[in-house]
Structure 1
Amino acid sequence: MEITGKTFVALGYQPGKWFKEALAYANEHQLAGEQLISYLDSVKPIYQPLQDEAADLTVNIHAENDQEQSNVDTVVASMQKLLRTPTMVQGAVMPDACPTGPIGTIPVGGVVIAKNAIHPGMHSADICCSVMLTDLGMIDPKKVLDQAQRVTHFGFGGRIYDKQFSLPTQLKHRFKDNLLLNKEKMLDMAETHLGTQGDGNHFLFVGRSAKTGHTMMVTHHGSRGVGAMLYSQGMKIAEHFRKQISPETLKQNAWIPFDTEEGKQYWQALQIIRDWTKLNHSSLHDATLHGLGMQGYDRYWNEHNFVFQDQDLFYHAKGATPLDEKFLPDSTGSRLIPLNMAEPVLIVQGATTKGNLGFAPHGAGRNISRSAHKRAKQGQTETQIFREETEGLDVRFFSGEIDISELPSAYKNAQTVRTQMQTYGLGNVIDEVLPYGSIMAGDWQKNAPWKRRKKGKKKKQ
């Protein structure tokens, strides 16, 4: 008599992908009774309950006022709940930490170590958000910013056809060879989004080295639409496993076991997205250099939203800069930590300690949300706020619309972050890129293309 999935369910086993292989084996060996039950118990997914106590947490941040205290308390509470997830080994929070999502969600500025597991929700949708620096030597920073503005692209969607960069054939083949990346829409985004920077806190920054006086260009952005699509797939795969092996785990903390085929494919896809993002940065830097008719003196980069592997441990950084060289095989030894448009970009180096887990902050972070910051500024015009906070700087918004939620006052005090970096041993500043000016998306939704089209239709009517 043939054994079916209904046979397994009648015996009390939860349906899942494991049924297929188990059915084939059970039928081939004609298992029945105790033999069948013994076999199924040996191959069924192992249920993993939440840990009774949270894994160890190092808090590399302290509050200096009531507002910051509320922020720190929420971050710590969120990390403590998250660290009860079955895979968790250890965690840390950085001085720029700020909460995002409900309690139990990894905050910005959070680092966690998971055993044999990749948690898509712990690297976030902006996979491989990163920073790249090019040293342009002794050149007028205004010339660099002007040329960069001709080259870069912020806001919704990709570049128009005649302004697109070419996706290298080898990288295109790697997309096609990966089961999670070989979708037509994703391949199209990999081409059209190349050379774009998105919105939010992403920027193109130009300044001078405090040490050498050289002009330096820094870009900050992630993997755009291709990364967001991979993240969505990763969360669905992780949810599938969560339902089978750990339903008590919060949905945002679901994981993909690394030793599964899905885990291997997702890890490979992450590496491809990492290479695409690095190319996204270098395309803009190279095009700027080409427009200026020159070559750069030096270049380095690092991501701060990613997953890093060390044997069977996976370090998830949600807005944290890796210090340890084992996390950055293509590193030149320095890391970049931007603070805000009116503050220097820090060039740092540092060693791994028990408390920092091999990471440093990724920026200044926020104490309140964008909308709360805007409410706090009511009574002043956007132009007034902009002039006060960017005096002496050449700050431009790609959309032509000011976004006050990205001005310096929207972020934590930069000096506080720097002081706490020293206090907790989170990297040493070896140079600073002193600000000349920057380009950001601005409030591109205020005058978005679809809104202009809608207004045009109304006028015609």
Structure 2
Amino acid sequence: MVTGKDLLNLGLKSGKWFKQALEHINAYSLEGETLRAYLDTVKPAPEIPLLEKPVPFYENISADTPVEQANIDYVRQSMHQLMRTPTVVAGAIMPDACPAGPPGTIPVGGIVVARNAIHPGMHSADICCSVMLTNLGKVNPKSVLDAAQQITHFGPGGRSPERQFALPAEIEAEMQANPFLNSLRSLNFAREHLGTQGDGNHFLYVGTSRNTGDTVLVSHHGSRGVGAALYTQGMKMAERFRQAISPDTDPHNAWIPSQSTEGEQYWAALQTVRKWTKQNHLCLHEAIGSELGTVVQQRFWNEHNFVFRDGDLFYHAKGATPLDSKFMPDITGPRIIPLNMAQPILLVEGNTTETNLGFAPHGAGRNLSRTRHKFSKLGQTNEDLFAEETHGIDARFYFNRIDISELPSAYKDAEDVKRQIAQFNLATTVDEIRPYGCIMAGDWEQDAPWRKKKLAKEAARLAVDDSQADNSSLQQE
């Protein structure tokens, strides 16, 4: 009788496949060459090692200050580690590049091209983070921002039932047919989060076109809970493949083979989430336009946090704007690159080059983390910083709580980013949307339920301590 020990002695790696293989071997009394021939058909493929040397990548970025250089050095170190991932064939970083995790994690402003592989960690949880632009014609920008503030939704959670938008039947059917999306949790997210913008750097911006003077609405947000749930499922699936075929690969760079059943299903799920996210923008834009009674002059959009496909190559863009039309089946206009709330939004066009891989920056990026930026502003009040940095624009926070990590100084210098776009021949600016004002979430966590619960728990503990101290004092008397 053949045992698992016998298979180990043949140099095979143990796994779940042993049980079924041993049952077959012993049922048919396989031995010798017949046994070896059978094992060749069922044993796992050999493990795939890391590349001996990192694949070269293009750097479309330069530094003018020590802080910027330190940022680039970290990004470069991270990319060198990432580019040893066995599936990777090309990469690039943009002028807005900044770290997004531990070494080896794709940075913001990074593009990584993999062959026959989808890396969920390289599109991150905010799948299809994107921007949509609607030209509303000659309408008062303040009226647009006022209407938007009443209609949009920032912060955690979703809309209450009476304020929800209708989920298109096509999107719901696609979700129900896909094993990555058909959970009750994901379907509830799809209904409740439609027409919501989240928090962080997401915004609703109103400005005027440099070329025409028309009032323009731009929204920036991603796939909310729908995408986050898919990301979680994708990372779990990728980890199972990593353990089986490439355990030396960093867990955050695990991949799903694109030609596997799971890979095909995950790719289809990404396309459904893309549709949902576009609809997420669209329902807000249409509701605002309807409230104002305006006629749409022009509308277009683009994602900048997604996976794009060209044959067997998968372009993972973590905060990078696609220029090449092959990446966007529904392209209708120039690409949208926001910088910060006090600066114009760039509308750009461009061509694929050897160094840009078909992409441009997605914004201004950061040189410092949110926490380090806040630390750098110690000694100045939030109100003073807000007044100084938003002078001349109508800047609003949805929760009426100033978030200094989203003020203009939190981002790279906009003029430097524009200069590097030209320096590295990344894109050509064809118009600018000059700012009137914008809405962002603000520091909603000041009043977050978890924080209130924590404070209440601490207050209760102190009350118990005080009570015990009083009792002890009475006993001593």
State the TM bucket, normalised to the shorter chain.
Answer: over 0.9
How do 1:56-67 residues align onto structure 2 when only pairs under 5 Å count?
56-67=56-67
Q: Tell me what 1:116 maps to.
A: 116
Listed one character per residue, the Cα deviations across residues 140-166 of structure 1 (whole Å, up to 9, x for unaligned) are: 000111111111000011011111111
Quick one: structure 1 residues 285 and 13, their matched pair in 2 at CA, closer, same or farther if it must change by over 3 Å?
Answer: same
Supply the distance in 2 between the matched residues of 1:4 and 1:163 (Cα, whole angstroms): 63
Q: How far off is 1:8 after superposition?
A: 4.9
Q: How far off is 1:33 after superposition?
A: 2.8
How do 1:329-368 residues align onto structure 2 when only pairs under 5 Å count?
329-368=329-368
Q: What RMSD over aligned residues (CA atoms) do the two structures have, in Å?
A: 2.1
Q: Within the alignment, does 1:41 sit opposite 2:40 as a pair? A: yes
Q: Tell me what 1:82 maps to.
A: 82
Q: How far off is 1:46 after superposition?
A: 2.8
Q: Within the alignment, does 1:246 sit opposite 2:246 as a pair? A: yes
CA contact (8 A) 2:137 2:295 kept: no
SS in 2 for 1:125: coil
Letter in 2 for 1:300: F
Q: Within the alignment, does 1:400 sit opposite 2:410 as a pair? A: no
Supply the distance in 2 between the matched residues of 1:21 and 1:261 (Cα, whole angstroms): 21
Q: Tell me what 2:312 maps to.
A: 312
Supply the distance in 1 between the matched residues of 2:310 and 2:16 (Cα, whole angstroms): 28
Quick one: structure 1 residues 12 and 365, their matched pair in 2 at CA, closer, same or farther if it must change by over 3 Å?
Answer: same
Listed one character per residue, the Cα deviations across residues 175-218 of structure 1 (whole Å, up to 9, x for unaligned) are: 11000100011110110011000000000000000001010000
Gap runs ≥5 in structure 2: 464-477
CA contact (8 A) 1:422 1:428 kept: yes
Q: How far off is 1:11 after superposition?
A: 4.4
Identity, % of aligned positions: 59
Listed one character per residue, the Cα deviations across residues 374-414 of structure 1 (whole Å, up to 9, x for unaligned) are: 11111111000000000011011011100000000000000
TM-score between both structures, scaled by the size of structure 1? 0.95
Supply the distance in 1 between the matched residues of 2:260 and 2:20 (Cα, whole angstroms): 14
SS in 1 for 2:366: coil
Supply the distance in 2 between the matched residues of 1:410 and 1:154 (Cα, whole angstroms): 20
Listed one character per residue, the Cα deviations across residues 347-370 of structure 1 (whole Å, up to 9, x for unaligned) are: 001000000000000000000010
Q: How far off is 1:342 after superposition?
A: 0.4
Listed one character per residue, the Cα deviations across residues 241-284 of structure 1 (whole Å, up to 9, x for unaligned) are: 11111111111111111111111111111011010000000011
SS in 2 for 1:41: helix
Q: How far off is 1:447 after superposition?
A: 1.4
Supply the distance in 2 between the matched residues of 1:24 and 1:359 (Cα, whole angstroms): 53
Supply the distance in 2 between the matched residues of 1:98 and 1:381 (Cα, whole angstroms): 27
Supply the distance in 1 between the matched residues of 2:20 and 2:356 (Cα, whole angstroms): 43
Quick one: structure 1 residues 5 and 366, their matched pair in 2 at CA, closer, same or farther if it must change by over 3 Å?
Answer: same
Q: Tell me what 1:424 maps to.
A: 424
Q: How far off is 1:333 after superposition?
A: 3.4
SS in 2 for 1:139: coil
CA contact (8 A) 2:134 2:285 kept: yes
Listed one character per residue, the Cα deviations across residues 286-335 of structure 1 (whole Å, up to 9, x for unaligned) are: 11011112231111110111001111100000000000000000001310
Q: How far off is 1:47 after superposition?
A: 1.3
Q: Within the alignment, does 1:237 sit opposite 2:237 as a pair? A: yes
Q: Within the alignment, does 1:266 sit opposite 2:266 as a pair? A: yes
Quick one: structure 1 residues 409 and 177, their matched pair in 2 at CA, closer, same or farther if it must change by over 3 Å?
Answer: same
SS in 2 for 1:416: helix
Q: How many residues are paired up? A: 459
SS in 2 for 1:231: helix
Q: How far off is 1:42 after superposition?
A: 4.7
Quick one: structure 1 residues 264 and 344, their matched pair in 2 at CA, closer, same or farther if it must change by over 3 Å?
Answer: same
Letter in 1 for 2:31: A
With 15-24 and 336-345 compared, the bigger mean Cα shift is at: 15-24
Q: How far off is 1:38 after superposition?
A: 3.2
Q: How far off is 1:45 after superposition?
A: 1.9
With 213-222 and 8-17 compared, the bigger mean Cα shift is at: 8-17
Supply the distance in 2 between the matched residues of 1:300 and 1:28 (Cα, whole angstroms): 63
With 40-49 and 195-204 compared, the bigger mean Cα shift is at: 40-49
Q: How far off is 1:34 after superposition?
A: 2.6
Q: Tell me what 2:167 maps to.
A: 167
Quick one: structure 1 residues 445 and 15, their matched pair in 2 at CA, closer, same or farther if it must change by over 3 Å?
Answer: same
CA contact (8 A) 1:124 1:231 kept: yes
CA contact (8 A) 2:208 2:215 kept: yes
Q: Tell me what 2:50 maps to.
A: 50
Q: Within the alignment, does 1:141 sit opposite 2:141 as a pair? A: yes
Gap runs ≥5 in structure 1: none
CA contact (8 A) 2:209 2:216 kept: yes
Q: Tell me what 1:178 maps to.
A: 178
Q: How far off is 1:25 after superposition?
A: 7.5
With 11-20 and 285-294 compared, the bigger mean Cα shift is at: 11-20
Structure number with greater Rg is 2
Q: Tell me what 1:282 maps to.
A: 282
Q: How far off is 1:452 after superposition?
A: 5.4
Quick one: structure 1 residues 26 and 292, their matched pair in 2 at CA, closer, same or farther if it must change by over 3 Å?
Answer: farther
Quick one: structure 1 residues 194 and 24, their matched pair in 2 at CA, closer, same or farther if it must change by over 3 Å?
Answer: farther
Q: How far off is 1:425 after superposition?
A: 1.1
CA contact (8 A) 1:14 1:244 kept: no
TM-score between both structures, scaled by the size of structure 2? 0.92
